[in-house]
Structure 1
Amino acid sequence: MVTASPLTLGVVGGGQLGRMLAEAASPLGVELVVLDPTPDCPASLVARDQIVGDFDDEEAIRELAERSDALTFEIELADPDVLEAVGEEYDVPVHPDPATLRTIQDKLVQKRALQDRGIPVPDFRPVDSREDLLEAGEEFGYPMMLKARRGGYDGRGNVPVEDEDDVDNALSQVSGELMVEEFVPFERELSVIAVKGDDEVATFPVGENVHEEEILRQTVVPARTSDEVRERAEDVAREVLSALSGRGTYGIELFEGEDGDISVNEIAPRPHNSGHYTIEGALTSQFEQHARGVLGYPLGATDLRGPVVSSNILGDVDEPETAALSGVEGVLSSDGAAFHWYGKRQVRPLRKMGHVTLVGDDLDADDESTLTDLLEEARELTDSLTFQ
Structure 2
Amino acid sequence: MTTLETPGPTVGVVGGGQLGRMLAEAASPLGVDLIVLDPTPDCPAATVARDQIVADFDDEDGIRELADRSDVLTFEIELADQTVLERVEAETGTPVHPKPATLETIHDKLVQKRELADAGVPVPPFRGVENADDIRDAIDDYGAPVMLKARTGGYDGRGNVPVESKDDADAALESVAGPAMVESFVEFEREVSVIAVNGVDDVATFPLGENVHVDEILRETVVPARSSEAVERRALAVAEDVLSVMDGRGVYGIELFETTDGDVLLNEIAPRPHNSGHWTIEGAQSSQFEQHVRAVLGWPLGSTELRSPTALANLLADVEESRDAQLRNVDRVLETPGAHLHWYGKREARPGRKMGHVTVSGRDENTAVDELLETARDLEDVVTFRD
Q: Same fold (TM over 0.5)?
A: yes
Aligned partner of 2:184 among 182, 190, 202: 182
3-state SS in 1 of match to 2:211 = strand
1:12-23 equivalence runs, <5 A: 12-23=14-25
Matched residue type, 1:381 = L
The answer to whether the 8 Å contact 2:338/2:360 transfers is yes
Residue number in structure 1 paired with 2:374: 376
Residue number in structure 2 paired with 1:362: 364
The answer to whether the 8 Å contact 2:135/2:166 transfers is no
1:281-300 equivalence runs, <5 A: 281-300=283-302
Tell me by how many angstroms 1:335 deviates: 1.6
Runs of 4+ in 1 over 3 A off after TM superposition: none
Tell me by how many angstroms 1:95 deviates: 0.2
3-state SS in 2 of match to 1:135 = helix
3-state SS in 2 of match to 1:181 = strand
Matched residue type, 1:304 = L
Establish whether residue 338 from structure 1 lines up as the match of residue 340 from structure 2: yes
Q: Unpaired segments of 5 or more residues in structure 2?
A: 1-5
Once the two structures are superposed, residues 208-248 of structure 1 have per-residue CA deviations (whole angstroms, 9 ceiling, x without a partner) of 00111211111000100100001100000000001111000
Aligned partner of 1:104 among 95, 103, 106: 106
Once the two structures are superposed, residues 3-49 of structure 1 have per-residue CA deviations (whole angstroms, 9 ceiling, x without a partner) of x9411100000000000000001111110000000000000000000
3-state SS in 2 of match to 1:326 = coil
Matched residue type, 2:127 = R
Establish whether residue 117 from structure 1 lines up as the match of residue 119 from structure 2: yes
Aligned partner of 1:324 among 316, 326, 330: 326
Residue number in structure 2 paired with 1:133: 135
TM-score by length of 1: 0.97
Count matched residues. Answer: 381
Establish whether residue 211 from structure 1 lines up as the match of residue 213 from structure 2: yes
Residue number in structure 2 paired with 1:144: 146
1:254-265 equivalence runs, <5 A: 254-265=256-267
Matched residue type, 1:21 = L
Residue number in structure 1 paired with 2:383: 385
3-state SS in 1 of match to 2:346 = coil
Matched residue type, 1:48 = R
Tell me by how many angstroms 1:362 deviates: 2.7
Once the two structures are superposed, residues 145-200 of structure 1 have per-residue CA deviations (whole angstroms, 9 ceiling, x without a partner) of 00000111111100000011111221222111100000000000000000010101
3-state SS in 2 of match to 1:297 = coil
Counterpart Cα distance in 1 of 2:332 and 2:204: 36
3-state SS in 2 of match to 1:61 = helix
Matched residue type, 1:261 = D
Once the two structures are superposed, residues 257-296 of structure 1 have per-residue CA deviations (whole angstroms, 9 ceiling, x without a partner) of 0110001000000000000000011000000000000000
Residue number in structure 2 paired with 1:89: 91
The answer to whether the 8 Å contact 2:10/2:32 transfers is yes
Once the two structures are superposed, residues 107-149 of structure 1 have per-residue CA deviations (whole angstroms, 9 ceiling, x without a partner) of 0000001000010000110111112111111111110000000
1:161-172 equivalence runs, <5 A: 161-172=163-174
Counterpart Cα distance in 1 of 2:277 and 2:271: 13
Counterpart Cα distance in 1 of 2:374 and 2:290: 28
Counterpart Cα distance in 2 of 1:38 and 1:332: 30
Counterpart Cα distance in 2 of 1:214 and 1:268: 15
Matched residue type, 2:372 = L
TM-score by length of 2: 0.97
Question: Identity rate of aligned residues, in percent?
Answer: 66
3-state SS in 1 of match to 2:156 = coil
Once the two structures are superposed, residues 46-94 of structure 1 have per-residue CA deviations (whole angstroms, 9 ceiling, x without a partner) of 0000000000001100100010000000000000111011011111110
Counterpart Cα distance in 1 of 2:333 and 2:362: 16
Counterpart Cα distance in 2 of 1:327 and 1:314: 15
